[in-house]
Structure 1
Amino acid sequence: MPIFLRCCTLGLLLLLSFGTHLAAADPRRDFAGQYQPQRRILAESRREGDSLRIYLRFPDGSVLQRGNPLRIAVWANYDAKRPVWQGVVPQLSRRIRLVKSAAWVDFCVAARVLQLGQILSVACAPDDESDASDGVWLPITKERLGRTFLLTDSIGDPMLRRYVQPGEAFQVDSYGPELPLVAKRYDTSFTAALPPMANPAAQPQPRKLPARDSLFFRAGQLLQLRQPGLYALRVGGNTTPLGLLVTDADFPELNTADELIQPLIYLTTSAERKSLTDAPDPKRAVDQFWLKVAGGNQTVARQLIRTYYGRVAAANQLFTAHKAGWMTDRGMLYIALGAPDVVYRTAAEERWVYRDANGSSGTYTFRPKPSTFAPEHYELVRRPEHEMLWYAAVEQWRKGLTTARSGR
């Protein structure tokens, strides 16, 4: 079993220093780095007795080998200029496990020093950069403090995602004695996000999902869920289940004709999508759609396809929870407009700012709407004034002017 999955003991608890000498930071931190999949540090947590264990995966393992300490701090909110407390992870070099170019590390934090509503940050950086927003920022929620289990892959590494492919082997690793595990499957008949200027009243209303069936296992057992759908995993007496989406076989990538056509809802009319679906060879029809958009230029068409479906795959990685990431509000904007230039966060909202070469900008506001299956789900505040920006972005795609190089 990997060293970072061993049970936490009092001797390994993180020793915290409660100084407040950290340099004052800009209260308007830019969190745009959180939406760059290739450089984002992935994190997971699990309650272990009187502590919270944090698991981190650095995509660039060399970051942990540059001599900087792994700094941890807790903030009253995202705008706080100084932390409530701060410290460093002891014996960092002994905790690092390299896997190719990436690196894993884990440590424990005493639960008594964490309060609901606070934000825990982790960064491997010099002191004057230790509150950088491209590090790890974890909200301290009731669910995070109470959940005593996490998903791991077949060899025991934390999965760091809320989806598995049909038949993919995984485990529910529970801290403490073996406990029964119940997996309830629900329908996944969710719809794609509406445009950002749509009438909020037209938004689908939350509904109670009927459970289709229940499966019974034990924590630690190697599992394979072959039926696609939305599952709620509950271990023993845990009051909060963990949502897990069983996806298509190639997820987060898209390969079948149907999968490639569905995300085009953001650029096409219903008649165009029906024409693609009803074509004798739907996949070839999709290629022809992009070739037409590119004005017959095959090089541009290939570039458009790579950019669009690359963003779809990135949205799936970033935002998948109760439904595929491309179908969410944040996924919709990510696909159509690209990664945001600036992201501001508070406890009540997240704002994405897009800027163009002329200096003008557009701002989209998201508000948290957590649910059983998606504790970090956000919904867009739809406004009529978004209409001009949205149609301008769609027109850029339809004219073949959006490329990976331009970003917009």
Structure 2
Amino acid sequence: MNHPVRLLLFCGFLLTLLPAASAQRRDFAGQYHSDQKILVDSRREGDSLRIYLRFPNGSVLQQKQPLRVLAWPAYDAKRPVWADTVSHLARRTRLEGSAARVEFCLPIARLQSGTILSMACGPASVAASGEAAWLPLTAARLARPYILADSLGVPLLRRTVRAGEAFYVDRYGPEQPVSVKQYTTPFVAALPPHADPSRQAAGPATLAVRDSLFARAGVPLALPEPGLYTLRLMGEPSLLGLLVTGAEYPDLTTADELIQPLIYLTTSTERKNLYDAPNPKRAVDEFWLKAAAGQQTLARQAIRLYYSRAATANQLFAAHKAGWMTDRGMLYMVLGAPDAVYRTAQEERWVYHARDNGSSATYMFRPKPSTFAPEHYELVRRPENERLWYAAVEQWRKAMTAPGR
């Protein structure tokens, strides 16, 4: 095991390098660009917490800039409670194509549940910004002695696996058998942002177990059927939620997968006609061609944009259901990435600046964590969201949504 990085607690020099954190509101919009997002996970290893980071642009780790770690009392805090740098960075870096992965350890005695770590390679202002990797520390995270890894032992850094994809539970210390349970999944796509909250089904308080099995410790496991699962190691109190997806996830490829996200743009009758068509995939193409008034180039652009947003939503917002079905995924698909994102412990706000029609809006999400989705958020639905929503839907139904939006 690597030695824990030496903490420079209350280091006045490092803390004074963070004027940007106190000068302006921290914007987390960069977290919703999958090609920029730094992936992060962790594992308890005795008296240390091992941190795993994956930088989509590995070159940032080769520019002789320090990898900085900051601990914050809250997302909107002005100053960190401590700051540190990771020593011997080159030794801890593994290249993965154009990306790069880093591992390092922090002493568990210096980490407190309820605080949040931010991590980035570069100036201190970058590590304090919304562009950094942010990792909320919960009691469960500080105690969990394992991560999910692929069949070669490379950390997955995600809570989804594809049906048939080999992975295993990589535990620190003696290997333990893994109990796997599959649950019924009566989940549906999100309602529009102006819908009456009473129409929003709260979902069952508990989920029925559909199937269960035991996996051998240290042996790769492949789950053949998509669905919602939990993993529990023998002797461990906590569960780890896992979403098993279709083989092409995050992409949508089958006729059903292509029709389902159109729930945000179509009526139930229109979708039924698509499902009932002799060739549903061709019917989807014809739907978009009709929206584009017969202009094939415009139709292709709309198809490419809409389903690429669905794939990105699947990457960013997967929870107890596919990312495109979540509240944040719904807004992302129809309105695009937010222009600004502000977080506190109680909420996350998405800000959309004025569109071509002059409309702007702010949407508020509240955290609703669960075993299956510890970082899940639900939208606060309001009637005043209706005008902008239908204006955006109408643009899609004319195949006129610009790629930048």
Query: What band does the TM-score fall into relative to the shorter chain?
Result: over 0.9
Q: Does 1:173 align with 2:174?
A: no
Q: Quick check: 2:342–2:349 contact (8 Å CA) kept in 1?
A: yes
Corresponding residue to 2:50 among 53, 59, 64: 53
Q: Which structure 1 segments of 5+ residues have no match?
A: 1-7
Report Cα offsets for 1:190-240 as digits up to 9, x if no partner: 100001011111111231111011110133211011022111000122222
Q: Quick check: 1:27–1:79 contact (8 Å CA) kept in 2?
A: no
Q: Using the alignment, how far apart are the partners of 1:128 and 1:276 within structure 2?
A: 50
Q: Using the alignment, how far apart are the partners of 1:165 and 1:59 within structure 2?
A: 21
Q: Using the alignment, how far apart are the partners of 2:300 and 2:25 within structure 1?
A: 38
Q: Using the alignment, how far apart are the partners of 2:248 and 2:86 within structure 1?
A: 37
Corresponding residue to 1:71 among 68, 79, 90: 68
Q: Using the alignment, how far apart are the partners of 1:182 and 1:357 within structure 2?
A: 50
Q: State the shift of 1:189 in Å.
A: 2.4
Tell me what 1:108 maps to.
Answer: 105
Q: State the shift of 1:128 in Å.
A: 3.8
TM, length-normalised to structure 1 = 0.95
Q: Quick check: 2:364–2:379 contact (8 Å CA) kept in 1?
A: yes
Q: State the shift of 1:27 in Å.
A: 5.0
Q: Using the alignment, how far apart are the partners of 2:326 and 2:143 within structure 1?
A: 27
TM, length-normalised to structure 2 = 0.96
Identity %: 63
Tell me what 1:299 maps to.
Answer: 297
Report Cα offsets for 1:12-33 as digits up to 9, x if no partner: 1011112132323145200000
Q: Report matched runs for 1:110-149 at 5 Å.
A: 110-149=107-146
Q: Using the alignment, how far apart are the partners of 2:254 and 2:213 within structure 1?
A: 29
Q: Using the alignment, how far apart are the partners of 1:225 and 1:128 within structure 2?
A: 43
One-letter amino acid matched to 2:8? S
Q: Report matched runs for 1:173-252 at 5 Å.
A: 173-207=170-204, 208-252=206-250
Q: Quick check: 2:18–2:128 contact (8 Å CA) kept in 1?
A: no
Q: Using the alignment, how far apart are the partners of 2:359 and 2:262 within structure 1?
A: 27
Q: State the shift of 1:78 in Å.
A: 1.2
SS in 1 for 2:91: helix
Moved more, 335-344 or 350-359: 350-359
Q: Quick check: 2:126–2:132 contact (8 Å CA) kept in 1?
A: no
Tell me what 1:23 maps to.
Answer: 18
One-letter amino acid matched to 2:7? L
Tell me what 2:363 maps to.
Answer: 364
Tell me what 1:5 maps to.
Answer: none
Corresponding residue to 1:265 among 263, 266, 270: 263
Q: Using the alignment, how far apart are the partners of 1:172 and 1:114 within structure 2?
A: 24
Q: Using the alignment, how far apart are the partners of 2:239 and 2:157 within structure 1?
A: 16
Q: Quick check: 1:71–1:88 contact (8 Å CA) kept in 2?
A: yes
SS in 2 for 1:83: coil
SS in 1 for 2:5: coil
Report Cα offsets for 1:88-107 as digits up to 9, x if no partner: 00100111111211111110
Q: Quick check: 2:359–2:388 contact (8 Å CA) kept in 1?
A: no
SS in 2 for 1:313: helix
Q: Using the alignment, how far apart are the partners of 1:202 and 1:177 within structure 2?
A: 48
Moved more, 318-327 or 210-219: 210-219
* Number of aligned positions between the proteins: 397
Q: Using the alignment, how far apart are the partners of 1:357 and 1:252 within structure 2?
A: 28
SS in 2 for 1:178: coil
SS in 2 for 1:237: coil
Q: State the shift of 1:333 in Å.
A: 0.2
Q: Using the alignment, how far apart are the partners of 2:126 and 2:103 within structure 1?
A: 21
SS in 2 for 1:223: coil
Corresponding residue to 1:80 among 72, 77, 80: 77
Please give the root-mean-square deviation of Cα atoms over the aligned residues, in Å: 1.2
Q: State the shift of 1:56 in Å.
A: 0.6
Tell me what 1:3 maps to.
Answer: none
Q: Using the alignment, how far apart are the partners of 1:172 and 1:251 within structure 2?
A: 21
Q: Quick check: 1:35–1:339 contact (8 Å CA) kept in 2?
A: yes
Q: Which structure 2 segments of 5+ residues have no match?
A: none
